[in-house]
Amino acid sequence: MSFDFEKVLTFGASGTIGSYIDFGSRPTHAECDITDADAVEEVVARYKPSAIILLAGATDMTRTEAEPAYAYELNVRGTYNVARAARSHGAVMVYASTSRVFKGNKPDPYTEDDLPEPETHYGRTKHIGEIITATLVPKHIIARTSWVFGGKIQNDTKFYGKVFQQLQSGQSEIVGLNDVHGSPTYGKDYIAAIKTLMSEGNFGTFHVANLGIATRYDLASAMALQIKPDAVVRAVGRSFFPTGSPLPTNESIASKHITLRPWQEALVEYLNEEC
């Protein structure tokens, strides 16, 4: 099966992962709010896509825990609106999901065979979004990922952007958590994997992350090596940072179907070629 990627419609292309989508139609939030069912139907009817990629959603995990309705509106209602439109127009649907659908206490990376057991409002609403997608859209791809980096790092207000700014400003000491593990993922590699799945007609649930496991301390150390080798990187525990979102011990994922390059290689390319 092959895809004409110019007939792909993407919601949420302005984010980190979306910055690597250079094909198809990419309406902005101002052009289409996914929580507006009529607006979604109108846009899908207008573009007549062969596939819809849904990247839009509530990703501010501090806010989702403080405002559950915010998470529900975007991750549940918004997903339902897009899935319903995809079904009615016979389009394939790609749903970007997260390792946070799991409890986060497994000693090894979560695979596609593990059952979701989310602990947060964010994780629960993303899991409901997965169920909606799988139930309504016969040809779907649920692509879970973890700890994504990419795009304009100057606009990143989360971990990677903060560490980059600290190193660029000459800060001599950087701190990073060493008791939470995840799978760093280059947005560029994530989209490449999605395109391959679509082109090959592979549908179902997949874990899409760069190879290997890391802590935030490992990531900060790797970034310092590229940007400011003389910077001191200090390992700290979760109690060092106050947060409104409970942190799991393990957010790492592995796939039985997809193998991407090691995160270290992807991060070096990102820092050297895009930052």
Please tell me whether residues 82 and 162 are part of one structural domain: no
> Which residues, in sequence order, are bridge partners of residue 150?
none
CATH number at residue 121: 3.40.50.720
Please tell me whether residues 83 and 163 are part of one structural domain: no
Please tell me whether residues 143 and 244 are part of one structural domain: no
Question: Which residues form the domain of 254?
Answer: 151-182+212-273
Residue 50 φ then ψ, to 5°: -85, -20
Please tell me whether residues 99 and 201 are part of one structural domain: yes
| Burial class, 119, CB count within 10 angstroms (exposed 0-12 / middle 13-18 / buried 19+) | middle
Please tell me whether residues 46 and 155 are part of one structural domain: no
The answer to whether the predicted template modeling score (pTM) of the entire model surpasses 0.85 is: yes
Q: What pLDDT, on the 0 to 100 scale, is given for residue 246? A: 67
CATH number at residue 170: 3.90.25.10
Q: What pLDDT, on the 0 to 100 scale, is given for residue 22? A: 95
Please tell me whether residues 200 and 268 are part of one structural domain: no
Number of compact structural domains in the chain? 2
Q: pLDDT 10s digit of each residue in the chain, 275 long?
A: 567 999 999 999 999 999 999 999 999 999 999 999 999 999 999 999 999 999 999 988 889 999 999 999 999 999 999 999 999 999 999 999 999 999 999 999 999 999 999 999 999 999 999 999 999 999 999 999 999 999 998 888 889 999 999 999 988 899 999 999 999 999 999 999 999 999 999 999 999 999 999 999 999 999 999 999 999 999 998 888 776 566 799 999 999 999 999 999 999 999 999 98
Both tokens of 185, joined, read 């993922």
Please tell me whether residues 163 and 64 are part of one structural domain: no
> Do the Cβ atoms of 194 and 143 come closer than 8 Å?
yes
Please tell me whether residues 189 and 63 are part of one structural domain: yes
Please tell me whether residues 83 and 155 are part of one structural domain: no
